[in-house]
Amino acid sequence: MKSLRFLTAVLMILAIGTVFGCAKKTIRSDALAYTPSRVEPRPAEAKPEAESADKTAALEREKKLSEENLREEALREQALREKALRDKALQEEAARKEAALKAAKLEPIYFEFDQWSIREDQKEIMMKNSQWLTANPNTKV
């Protein structure tokens, strides 16, 4: 009986939430839609002084743009060179680390079965590994 009441209450809450949550919302707008008015173009008046000033301004803008483009290109090339040098240094470092690990030839150390003690024949290998690791403290295993 209680479960039926609980189920009914849950269904009622869901129904009310759906009805009011998904209700259609109307938008009222008092503003009129924008319609651009038609503007008649004016005939161009010939002014030789203005044209020469415009031409010089345009030439100056083009010159500035070309200088900026050259500067940006030089910066891009420099960034590419620096990135190539960094990549090369990282590759060399990785190769050195790999060579050091290959040269180390660290051997595995075995324990007794279900025991915490190291086998007697493995103690010598552990000493070799520890000597190499103390000689190369920056190496990560």
Domain positions in the chain: 48-102, 105-141
Q: Among 29-43, 48-62, 126-140, which range has the highest average pLDDT? A: 126-140
Q: Using CA atoms, how far apart are residues 126 and 6, in angstroms rounded to an integer?
A: 69
Q: Torsion angle, CA of 125/126/129/130, rounded to 10 degrees?
A: -150
Tokens found for residue 120: 């007697």
User: What would the pLDDT profile of 24-42 be if each residue is shown by its tens digit?
Assistant: 667 776 666 666 666 666 7
Position 86 confidence tier, pLDDT thresholds 50, 70, 90: very high
Better-predicted residue by pLDDT, 77 or 27: 77
Which of 76 and 1 is assigned the larger pLDDT? Answer: 76
Q: Which carries the bigger pLDDT value, residue 29 or residue 90?
A: 90
CB burial of residue 132 (10 Å; 0-12, 13-18, 19+): middle
pLDDT confidence band for 9 (50 / 70 / 90): very high
Contact 111, 119 (CB under 8 A): yes
Does residue 48 have a pLDDT over 60?
no
The answer, yes or no, to whether residue 76 has pLDDT greater than 80, is yes
Q: What is the mean pLDDT of the chain?
A: 82
Between 64 and 51, whose confidence is greater? 64
pLDDT tier at 116, thresholds 50, 70, 90:
confident
pLDDT score of 139: 76
Return the bridge partners of 111, or none. Answer: 118
| Contacts (Cβ under 8 Å, ≥6 apart) of 128 | 107
**Nearest in space to 118 (alpha carbons), one of 130, 101, 102:** 130
Per the CB < 8 A criterion, the answer to whether 91 and 83 are in contact is no
